[in-house]
């Protein structure tokens, strides 16, 4: 077991080998490197060294997922995530480990950050670089896209400089009111920031270090937030709000190469504004809305700790609220084909419950995008089918930030008491069996204890695991309805790799499943239509639903 594992996620990074070489030359403790080659082999090759482990993926898994894989493979007490274009001070690992002996383990720590002058483009007439100001010199062009010499037009080659600039030396960071990364130079000048181990409100995601145990406990790089983006805010908030501290160790430094000029010197991962905004939305949901379940402080506590903070003159009331217990969320998936006379009353009732109980909704739709959710996922190319429904569910789950998820559908009237339930155990899928069927044609009402997808509730992480496996199975084998069914863990005919338990509950008052003739599942109204009579527990027929009134009155409401 080593002391420190340095984790480097890499995708088409031309300086990965140089970064690893630099690390091997500078480390002084029992330190290893775990590099994840995310979709491409390193060119040039990584140095052959028994302190280096390479993990290769034929297809990219994304920066967060690659980093997490490296952490899981590590057996060291400490892990340090590093970008694949960084240089380091001699003994940086030893100095970081020594600092943790002083601070304790409930810390995320960063070295001082310098800017790395990595390379120039030069032609045969260029003179050796005599200083590192970063500016252009005759026949030498500073760190930019490739191309001919701007002075004489001759072909250029890359001249690797690999030198830390003398300034800036960044030690303090923050985020603005949109939770976007910012430097915090004003704080660095304050008296309380003059210590060798100084606090920082946030951090820059190119290098940070913590214990492996704390990294995994806090899920410090949540893959549902996307491949990359907003990582510094995520890591810092999870550290601070869970009771830890973010510190800058001024006893040592690293130098990071910034991709400022694009071209063939751009980001190795696809650069999508929507993807970055998705990560920022996740941050806002988790920290600004207070849905992150491991928080012991609200976001306002962190802002007030570092006040005054630019952009935070007024702290939103919601940032002051600390939700106790796991956060709850709703996913609403629809094919947008149900008549509005039925869909709208059901939708309006759900929106009111969401507002009254402060439970956010994520919608997932085909045919047209919805607009009433906190997030609205849209699949324009998918057609109505069972596999599409499962993909819609997965898309909504991945875009929610809540810990506990309630499934909701377009043709169900939900009672507010349904959302009072909290699953007592993880690794279990729970179904609300207090469901009544309403026959839209004549208002007839029917109940028996049944497990329905529209009444499913469980922990989001477990649900994501299952629906990923479910979709993978269908893509390989088709949808065997009699073997798989719609409701996870209610059929035992498929040997799932990831197994979960089945649980049930009954809300105080029932939900109403409106049977209108175009439901995905069939309509059965008499006992003799069921092959397995033992399933018909608590069979009740009538013209009225408890807590709701007469079926005919409900039909009129929906007409």
pLDDT at 130 over 70: no
| pLDDT tens sequence across 459-503 | 999 999 999 999 999 999 998 887 888 899 988 788 899 999 999
* CA gap 170, 165 in Å, rounded: 12
pLDDT attached to residue 283: 84
CA angle (363, 369, 375) in 5-degree steps: 35
Of the pLDDT bands very low, low, confident and very high (cuts 50, 70, 90), residue 272 is low
pLDDT at 332 over 60: yes
Q: Of all residues in the chain, what percent carry a pLDDT higher than 70?
A: 95
Which one is predicted more confidently, 535 or 232?
Answer: 232
CATH class of 328-557: alpha beta
Beta bridge partners, 456, equal 431
pLDDT attached to residue 483: 83
363-372 average pLDDT score: 94
Helices marked H in 400-517: 460-477, 481-484
CA angle (86, 88, 89) in 5-degree steps: 165
pLDDT at 396 over 60: yes
Do β-strands 4-10 and 78-82 pair in parallel, antiparallel, or remain unpaired?
parallel
For residue 387, give every residue at least 6 positions away whose Cβ sits within 8 Å of its Cβ, in sequence order, or none. Answer: 471, 474, 475, 479
pLDDT attached to residue 38: 86
Of the pLDDT bands very low, low, confident and very high (cuts 50, 70, 90), residue 262 is low
pLDDT at 52 over 70: yes
* Ranges in the chain annotated CATH 3.90.550.10: 4-261+272-288
pLDDT attached to residue 184: 96
Residue 413, helix vs strand vs coil: strand
21-46 average pLDDT score: 92
Share of the chain residues as helix, strand and coil, in percent rounded to the nearest 5: 30, 25, 45
52-61 average pLDDT score: 90
pLDDT at 258 over 90: no
pLDDT attached to residue 541: 94
380-398 average pLDDT score: 94
Please give the CATH topology (third level) of the domain spanning 4-261+272-288.
Spore Coat Polysaccharide Biosynthesis Protein SpsA; Chain A (3.90.550)
Nearest 5°: phi and psi at 223? -70, -20
Mean pLDDT of the chain: 91
Of the pLDDT bands very low, low, confident and very high (cuts 50, 70, 90), residue 265 is low
Write down the number of H helices and E strands in the chain. 13, 27
Q: What is the per-residue burial (b if ≥16 Cβ within 10 Å, else e) of 64-73?
A: bbbbbbbbee
| pLDDT tens sequence across 503-527 | 999 999 999 999 987 776 667 888 8
* CA gap 124, 477 in Å, rounded: 60
Q: Of all residues in the chain, what percent carry a pLDDT higher than 90?
A: 71
pLDDT attached to residue 484: 85
pLDDT attached to residue 345: 94
Of the pLDDT bands very low, low, confident and very high (cuts 50, 70, 90), residue 294 is confident
Nearest 5°: phi and psi at 470? -60, -45
pLDDT attached to residue 466: 95
pLDDT at 271 over 80: no
pLDDT attached to residue 273: 59
* CA gap 556, 109 in Å, rounded: 62
| pLDDT tens sequence across 77-104 | 999 999 999 999 999 999 999 999 999 9
Of the candidates 176, 192, 290, 272, the one whose C-alpha atom is nearest the C-alpha of residue 233 is 176
Of the pLDDT bands very low, low, confident and very high (cuts 50, 70, 90), residue 41 is confident
pLDDT attached to residue 470: 94
| pLDDT tens sequence across 144-176 | 888 999 999 999 999 999 999 998 999 999 999
pLDDT attached to residue 266: 61
pLDDT attached to residue 131: 60
Of the pLDDT bands very low, low, confident and very high (cuts 50, 70, 90), residue 274 is low
* CA gap 410, 136 in Å, rounded: 62
Full-model pTM: 0.65
19-35 average pLDDT score: 97
């Amino acid at each position: 077991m080593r002391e420190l594992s340095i984790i480097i996620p890499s995708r088409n990074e031309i300086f990965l080998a140089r970064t690893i070489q630099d690390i091997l030359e500078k480390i002084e403790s029992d330190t290893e490197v775990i590099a994840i080659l995310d979709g491409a082999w390193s060119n040039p090759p990584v140095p052959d060294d028994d302190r280096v482990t390479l993990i290769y993926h034929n297809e990219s898994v994304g920066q967060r997922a690659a980093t997490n894989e490296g952490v899981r493979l590590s057996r060291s007490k400490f892990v340090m995530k590093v970008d694949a274009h960084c240089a380091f001070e001699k003994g940086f690992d030893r100095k970081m480990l020594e600092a943790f002996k002083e601070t304790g383990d409930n810390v995320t720590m960063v070295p001082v950050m310098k800017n790395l002058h990595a390379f120039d483009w030069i032609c045969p007439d260029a003179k050796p670089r005599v200083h590192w100001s970063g500016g252009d010199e005759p026949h030498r062009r500073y760190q930019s896209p490739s191309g001919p010499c701007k002075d004489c037009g001759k072909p250029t080659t890359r001249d690797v400089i690999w030198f830390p600039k003398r300034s800036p030396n960044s030690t303090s960071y923050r985020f603005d009111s949109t939770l976007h990364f910012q430097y915090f130079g004003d704080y660095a000048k304050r008296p309380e920031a003059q210590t060798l181990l100084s606090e920082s409100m946030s951090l820059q995601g190119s290098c940070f270090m913590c214990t492996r145990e704390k990294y995994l406990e806090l899920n410090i790089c949540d893959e549902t937030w996307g491949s990359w983006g907003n990582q510094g805010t995520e890591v810092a908030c999870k550290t601070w709000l869970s009771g830890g501290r973010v510190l800058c160790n001024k006893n040592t430094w690293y130098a990071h190469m910034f991709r400022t000029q694009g071209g063939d010197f751009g980001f190795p991962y696809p650069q999508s504004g929507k993807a970055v905004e998705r990560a920022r939305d996740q941050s806002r949901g988790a920290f600004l809305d207070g849905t992150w379940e491991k928080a012991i402080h609200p976001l306002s506590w962190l802002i007030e700790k570092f006040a005054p903070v630019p952009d935070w003159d007024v702290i939103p009331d919601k940032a002051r609220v600390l939700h106790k217990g796991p956060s709850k969320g709703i996913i609403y998936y629809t094919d947008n084909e149900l008549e509005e006379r039925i869909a709208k009353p059901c939708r309006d009732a759900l929106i009111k419950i969401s507002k009254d109980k402060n439970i956010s909704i994520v919608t997932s739709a085909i045919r047209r995008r919805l607009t009433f959710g906190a997030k609205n996922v849209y699949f324009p190319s998918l057609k109505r089918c069972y596999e599409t429904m499962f993909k819609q569910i997965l898309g909504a789950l991945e875009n929610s930030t809540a810990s506990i998820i309630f499934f909701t559908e377009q043709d169900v009237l939900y009672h507010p008491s349904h959302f009072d339930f909290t699953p007592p155990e993880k690794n279990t899928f729970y179904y609300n069996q207090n469901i009544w069927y309403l026959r839209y044609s004549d208002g007839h009402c029917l109940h028996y204890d049944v497990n329905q997808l529209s009444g499913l509730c469980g922990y989001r992480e477990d649900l994501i695991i299952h629906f990923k496996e479910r979709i993978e199975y269908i893509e390989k084998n088709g949808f065997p309805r009699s073997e798989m069914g719609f409701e996870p863990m209610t059929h035992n005919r498929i040997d799932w790799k990831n197994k979960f338990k089945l649980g049930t509950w009954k809300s105080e008052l029932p939900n109403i499943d409106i049977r209108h003739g175009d439901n995905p599942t069939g309509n059965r109204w008499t006992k003799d239509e069921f092959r397995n009579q033992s399933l018909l527990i608590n069979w009740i027929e009538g013209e009225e639903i408890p807590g709701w009134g007469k079926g005919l009155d409900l039909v009129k409401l929906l007409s």
